[in-house]
């Protein structure tokens, strides 16, 4: 079980402590104290895993543990100086060593090093059940030249509370990342509403004594606390069971007789109170059971194939050995005394020897292939193989029968659990919708997920919220969003119109300047009489001025003054754009504890769909009745 432990203390000369001695004890390294000339060393059975983390502006020597803490000692001149701060945290034993190291590295980097401290970390794993880390922190600011002034802000108690809280946050994220369900909290049991008492931290000395079988005062306190907590756990279990029973009785009011029977049937599989959570757990167990059966069957199929392969190899070897015997007999039976068949006999012998050599190679191949099967199936001789194959076939037949029965049981349990789950959900739907008269008949058609949405809305409000109120809120928020979006669209159009007008005015000024150049300058007027290009340029400028003026009038701007006034008003309106966007966000997401609009809409949509299905079913039944009535009348007329 993951535990939360976070303690902080100051290493001070006033207590007779030394930064060098403290670092040596925690790191397990031999360090020389330059101030006293003493060498500090504390032997450990399991060498701690250490690291030094420092801000980016630190000198390189901070990575040398001996130099680092000697520099700390040099920077402190007073006899009662605070040399360092130490944090001690319990590492979640559910994490691997690498993940523990990653966790403490990320936490120290973010919470201490990023604020300017140098951190010397030592992870102790002397006891596998109690992995923990010592973090020694410097108390002075550091620059490229070395340590400078004391940072008094690091002594703030609020900062300490932040470190405590963030350690729980970092650890829980690491546990979640690795798929571990355990969580820790920096809050006390009292603050979390937990009646159990916290244990006290043993410390290294007391821990070692307890390991040797020597009882300590702290150990005795923890044993008393554990006995007390055990009783609390039992009491909590009783309370939980009692609450569960009361809930079952309350839910029973909304169940039909057949649904109660379905739930009762599931108690054999659940072995206790039937709840949706327990059904889910049992389903997971059944899935694993089925996977185990499939795995066993797969292994059996593999083993069967290997026995067949081995049998084929033995069969081939038998055939080869019989063939070799025949060939050897053929050679043995050659009549060498007949001189007329000497050449023929030699040829017969040569062919037989070649065939024997080939057969021996094939024999070696099959025998070598059997080495794999001997290892995998655990046999040495052919006789052992035959015995094992016979035993395997018997086991296989038994396994097929067992698996068939187990699969039948799995199928039966799944059907039972499915009925119980449906019954529980239907009962809860009726319980949730019971305060709503308009849903009395439609509840049978409502989805469980939609009913839970209504439940969430009521639980958050602390009362039954009428559907009309939910719909009214949806309408109010939707209208607010539509109004704000319409306002934003208007602003966007006006902004685009203003940008277009600004471009037109800019072009109009350029064109007007060109026209004035031709009309007010005698030389340019004369040029138009002789230059076709100049005349065409002047004519085009007049045409452009007319076109731009008409375009500006269509946009609603008769002159530049009118446009500037409009632009000033638009700028003021655009300043309010963030407020309008915030209105949309608040309407969509909700304020404070309000549900987001999508959730409310989904809840109402689920209700409306159930009502439509209920209406459709009622109409279907009515049509069926009319059809039966008509058929009955026709039968009477025929008689």
Of 455, 417, 413, the residue nearest 278 (C-alpha) = 417
Q: Count CB atoms within 10 A of the CB of residue 50.
A: 17
According to the model, what pLDDT value does residue 150 have? 92
According to the model, what pLDDT value does residue 124 have? 94
Mean of pLDDT values over 512-539? 88
Angstrom distance (rounded) from CA 588 to CA 599: 10
Of 147, 150, 120, 123, the residue nearest 136 (C-alpha) = 120
Q: Count CB atoms within 10 A of the CB of residue 240.
A: 10
∠ at Cα 89 (42, 12), nearest 5°?
55
Angstrom distance (rounded) from CA 53 to CA 68: 12
According to the model, what pLDDT value does residue 192 have? 46
Percent with pLDDT over 70 in the chain:
90
Mean of pLDDT values over 198-220? 67
pLDDT tens-digit series, residues 553-604: 999 998 889 999 999 999 999 999 999 999 999 899 887 768 889 999 999 9
Structure tokens of 22?
Answer: 């403290």
First to last CA, the chain: 82
Angstrom distance (rounded) from CA 399 to CA 403: 6
Mean of pLDDT values over 342-370? 93
Mean of pLDDT values over 56-64? 94
Structure tokens of 123?
Answer: 């992870």
∠ at Cα 117 (115, 122), nearest 5°?
125
**pLDDT bracket for residue 637 (50, 70, 90):** confident
According to the model, what pLDDT value does residue 5 have? 87
pLDDT tens-digit series, residues 66-78: 999 999 999 998 8
Of the CA atoms within 13 Å of residue 152, those in its CB half-sphere come to 0
Structure tokens of 75?
Answer: 């920077």
Of 583, 551, 590, the residue nearest 487 (C-alpha) = 583
308 Cβ contact partners less than 8 Å away, ≥ 6 residues apart: none
pLDDT tens-digit series, residues 423-464: 999 999 999 999 998 888 888 899 999 999 999 999 988 899
Give the C-alpha distances (Å, rounded to integers) separating 450 from 218, 425, 432, 461, 601: 54, 11, 10, 17, 11
Grouping H, G, I as helix, E, B as strand and the rest as coil, residue 132 is strand
Name the residue with tokens 């108390």: 139
> pTM higher than 0.85 for the full model?
no
Q: Count CB atoms within 10 A of the CB of residue 563.
A: 19
pLDDT tens-digit series, residues 141-171: 999 999 999 998 998 888 999 999 999 999 9
Measured torsion, CA atoms of residues 146, 148, 152, 157, in degrees rounded to the nearest 10 = 0
Angstrom distance (rounded) from CA 270 to CA 265: 9
Q: Is 611 exposed, middle or buried (0-12, 13-18, 19+ CB in 10 A)?
A: middle
**pLDDT bracket for residue 523 (50, 70, 90):** confident
Long-range contacts from 96-99, C-beta under 8 angstroms, 24+ separation: 96/178, 97/49, 97/125, 99/174, 99/178
Phi first, then psi: what are they for 49, rounded to 5°? -95, 120
Is the model's pLDDT at 297 over the cut of 50?
Answer: yes
Give kind and range of the element (H or E) at residue 146.
Answer: strand 146-150
According to the model, what pLDDT value does residue 501 have? 93
- Beta strands 140-143 and 39-40 are unpaired
Q: Count CB atoms within 10 A of the CB of residue 305.
A: 10
Mean of pLDDT values over 232-253? 59
Handedness of CA 186, 187, 193, 199 (dihedral sign): positive
């Amino acid at each position: 079980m993951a535990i939360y432990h976070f303690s902080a203390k100051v290493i001070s000369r006033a207590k007779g402590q030394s930064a060098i001695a403290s670092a040596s004890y925690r790191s397990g390294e031999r360090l020389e104290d330059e101030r006293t000339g003493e060498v500090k060393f504390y032997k450990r059975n399991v060498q701690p895993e250490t690291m030094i983390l420092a801000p980016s502006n630190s000198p390189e020597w901070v990575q040398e543990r001996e130099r680092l803490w000697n520099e700390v000692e040099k920077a402190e001149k007073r006899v009662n100086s605070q040399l360092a701060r130490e944090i001690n945290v319990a590492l979640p034993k559910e994490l691997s060593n690498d993940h523990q190291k990653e966790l403490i590295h990320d936490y120290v980097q973010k919470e201490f090093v990023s604020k300017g401290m140098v951190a010397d970390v030592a992870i102790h794993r002397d006891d596998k059940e109690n992995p923990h880390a010592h973090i020694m922190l410097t108390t002075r600011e550091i620059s490229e030249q070395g340590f400078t002034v004391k940072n008094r802000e690091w002594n703030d108690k609020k900062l300490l509370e932040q470190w405590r809280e963030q350690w729980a946050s970092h650890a829980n994220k690491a546990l979640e990342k690795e798929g571990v369900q355990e969580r820790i909290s920096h809050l006390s049991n009292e603050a979390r509403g937990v009646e159990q008492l916290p244990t006290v931290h043993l410390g290294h000395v007391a821990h070692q004594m307890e390991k040797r079988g020597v009882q300590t005062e702290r150990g005795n306190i923890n044993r008393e606390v554990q006995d007390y907590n055990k009783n609390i756990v039992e009491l909590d279990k009783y309370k939980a069971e009692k609450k569960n029973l009361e809930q079952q009785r309350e839910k029973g009011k909304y169940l039909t007789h057949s649904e109660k029977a379905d739930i009762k049937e599931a108690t054999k599989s659940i072995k206790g109170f039937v709840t949706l959570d327990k059904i889910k757990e049992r389903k997971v167990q059944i899935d694993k059971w089925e996977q185990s059966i499939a795995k066993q069957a797969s292994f059996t199929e593999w083993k069967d194939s290997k026995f067949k392969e081995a049998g084929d190899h033995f069969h081939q070897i038998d055939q080869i050995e019989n063939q070799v015997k025949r060939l050897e007999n053929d050679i043995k039976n050659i009549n060498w005394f007949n001189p007329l068949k000497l050449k023929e006999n030699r040829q017969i012998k040569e062919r037989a020897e070649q065939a024997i050599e080939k057969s021996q190679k094939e024999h070696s191949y099959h025998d070598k292939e059997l080495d794999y099967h001997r290892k995998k199936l655990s046999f040495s001789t052919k006789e052992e193989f035959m015995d094992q194959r016979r035993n395997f076939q018997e086991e296989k037949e038994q396994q097929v029968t067992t698996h068939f029965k187990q699969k039948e049981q799995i199928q039966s349990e799944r059907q039972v659990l499915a009925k119980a789950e449906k019954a529980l959900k239907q009962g809860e739907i009726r319980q949730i919708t019971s305060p709503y008269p308009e849903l009395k008949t439609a509840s049978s058609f409502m989805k469980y997920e939609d009913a839970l949405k209504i439940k969430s809305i009521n639980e958050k409000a602390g009362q039954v919220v009428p559907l009309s109120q939910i719909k009214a809120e949806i309408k109010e928020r939707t209208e607010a969003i539509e109004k704000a979006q319409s306002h934003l669209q208007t602003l966007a159009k006006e902004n685009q119109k203003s940008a277009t007008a600004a471009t037109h005015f800019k072009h109009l000024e350029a064109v007007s300047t060109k026209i004035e150049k031709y009309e007010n300058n005698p030389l340019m007027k004369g040029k138009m009489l002789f230059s076709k290009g100049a005349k065409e340029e002047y004519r085009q400028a007049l045409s452009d001025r007319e076109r731009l003026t008409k375009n500006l009038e269509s946009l609603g701007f008769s002159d530049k003054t009118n446009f500037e006034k409009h632009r000033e008003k638009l700028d003021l309106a655009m300043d309010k754009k963030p407020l309008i966007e915030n209105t949309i966000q608040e309407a969509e997401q909700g304020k404070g504890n309000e549900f987001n609009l999508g959730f409310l809409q989904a809840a109402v949509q689920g209700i409306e769909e159930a009502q439509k299905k209920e209406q459709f079913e009622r109409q279907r039944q009515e049509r069926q009745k009319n059809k039966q009535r008509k058929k009955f009348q026709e039968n009477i007329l025929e008689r």
